[in-house]
């Protein structure tokens, strides 16, 4: 007899949902897992849903969940939920903090290397059949500033340190972090910017991070600095970034996040030859990793134990 909680699964990828559902039921056969492939089906199951396991769920529908007790987000960012209708205090919200770190660290390293190896120059020479040797740069000995030292930031730190880089970092509350030479507070970011060869942004969207990398601060960076933003697009204004790259205030950038997504075709960023522009793909969520975190938390939920990766909406993460 099925007598466990009712779960609504809404991954945003209908092709993945049946497999995810089967995996949940294999471990917890007493729960009910609803899929909602249509809007009609979605509205039909909302009244009985106790647990919402979803990605990019319409926040305007959240107040309709009268029985909701737990919302497991299939991602790390919670800015849209924080900006939406406030859920009752008894509803626990958790995210996938920790899942995306390895992939996003690899993204950051990949584009730092692409910059130092001048991959654009190599491809251009290849296309023109020109044999043109040059001396590429190396990561070893370079200074990287990591803005945001949560789980993703620490993955980046560890990989950069392993490659012989000097690492400085910025976090909301100062504390020692392994492999970071010095940790600054967000109010001290102006001390960080002039000393870094690479700046990697991995902060969530909060009031404190919106506009953090202002036009003036972009000019504090070395002209040889390379910027990687895999945090949130609101950290800097699009027009300021475009100006910084166009005028060579910085050497280049890899941007995976933008204030408006998809990035509009008329954005000036598309035209820049010193920018790697990617469509918010630095942290792909693999279904097996997403389900693993949820199953561990579901076990805790059923036992009445505290959930991991609890989200404080007032802080924004």
In percent, the amount of the chain with pLDDT more than 70 equals 99
How confident is the model over 156-192, as pLDDT tens digits? Answer: 999 999 999 999 999 998 899 999 999 999 999 999 9
Average pLDDT estimate for 228-247: 98
- What integer pLDDT is reported at residue 284 of this predicted model? 84
Average pLDDT estimate for 67-73: 97
CA distance 236 to 229: 10
DSSP character for 149?
-
Tell me, rounded to whole angstroms, the distance of Cα 14 from its chain centroid: 22
- What integer pLDDT is reported at residue 42 of this predicted model? 93
Catalytic residue check, 280:
yes
- What integer pLDDT is reported at residue 84 of this predicted model? 83
Catalytic residue check, 232:
yes
Predicted confidence (pLDDT) at residue 2 exceeds the cutoff of 60: no
Catalytic residue among 97, 154, 217, 232: 232
Catalytic residue among 182, 215, 246, 280: 280
Residue 125: pLDDT band (50, 70, 90) is very high
What residues pair up with 229 in beta bridges, in sequence order?
A: 201, 255
Catalytic residue check, 271:
no
- What integer pLDDT is reported at residue 228 of this predicted model? 99
Q: What pTM value is reported for the model?
A: 0.89
Strands 198-201 and 252-255: unpaired
- What integer pLDDT is reported at residue 98 of this predicted model? 86
Query: Contact at 8 Å (CB) between 218 and 210?
Result: no
Strands 32-35 and 166-171: unpaired
- What integer pLDDT is reported at residue 295 of this predicted model? 98
Catalytic residue among 261, 288, 305, 315: 261
DSSP character for 186?
G
Average pLDDT estimate for 265-289: 93
Tell me the domains of the chain and their CATH numbers. Answer: 6-99+285-303 (3.40.50.720), 101-277 (3.40.50.720)
CA distance 60 to 106: 35
- What integer pLDDT is reported at residue 107 of this predicted model? 98
Predicted confidence (pLDDT) at residue 69 exceeds the cutoff of 80: yes
Predicted confidence (pLDDT) at residue 3 exceeds the cutoff of 80: no
- What integer pLDDT is reported at residue 286 of this predicted model? 76
Predicted confidence (pLDDT) at residue 116 exceeds the cutoff of 50: yes
Predicted confidence (pLDDT) at residue 310 exceeds the cutoff of 50: yes
- Strands, E, within the chain: which ranges? 6-10, 32-35, 51-54, 70-73, 92-94, 143-147, 166-171, 182-185, 198-201, 226-229, 252-255, 275-277
- What integer pLDDT is reported at residue 12 of this predicted model? 84
Predicted confidence (pLDDT) at residue 1 exceeds the cutoff of 70: no
């Amino acid at each position: 007899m099925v007598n466990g909680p009712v779960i609504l699964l809404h991954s945003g990828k209908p092709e993945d949902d049946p497999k995810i559902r089967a995996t949940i039921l294999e471990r917890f056969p007493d729960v009910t897992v609803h899929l909602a492939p249509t809007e009609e089906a979605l509205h039909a199951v909302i009244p009985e849903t106790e647990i919402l396991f979803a990605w990019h769920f319409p926040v305007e529908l959240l107040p309709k969940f009268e029985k909701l007790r737990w919302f497991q987000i299939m991602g790390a960012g919670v800015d849209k939920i924080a900006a939406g209708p406030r859920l009752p205090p008894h509803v626990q919200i958790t995210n996938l903090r920790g899942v995306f770190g390895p992939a996003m660290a690899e993204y950051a390293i990949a584009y730092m290397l692409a910059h130092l190896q001048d991959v654009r120059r190599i491809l251009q020479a290849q296309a023109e059949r020109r044999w043109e040797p040059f001396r590429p740069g190396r990561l070893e000995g370079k200074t990287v500033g990591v803005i945001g030292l949560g789980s993703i930031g620490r993955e980046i730190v560890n990989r950069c340190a392993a490659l012989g880089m000097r690492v400085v970092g910025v976090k909301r509350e100062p504390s020692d972090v392994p492999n970071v030479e010095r940790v600054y507070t967000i109010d001290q970011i102006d001390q960080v910017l002039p000393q870094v060869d690479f700046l990697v942004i991995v902060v969530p969207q909060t009031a404190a991070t919106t506009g953090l990398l202002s036009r003036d601060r972009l000019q504090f960076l070395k002209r040889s600095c390379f910027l990687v933003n895999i945090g949130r697009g609101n950290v800097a204004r699009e027009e300021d970034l475009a100006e910084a790259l166009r005028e060579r205030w910085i050497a280049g950038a890899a941007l995976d996040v933008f204030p408006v997504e998809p990035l509009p075709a008329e954005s000036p960023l598309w035209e820049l030859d010193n920018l790697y522009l990617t469509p918010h793909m630095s942290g792909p969520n693999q279904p097996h990793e997403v389900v693993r975190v949820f199953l561990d938390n579901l076990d805790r939920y059923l036992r009445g134990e505290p959930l991991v990766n609890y989200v404080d909406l007032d802080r924004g993460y």
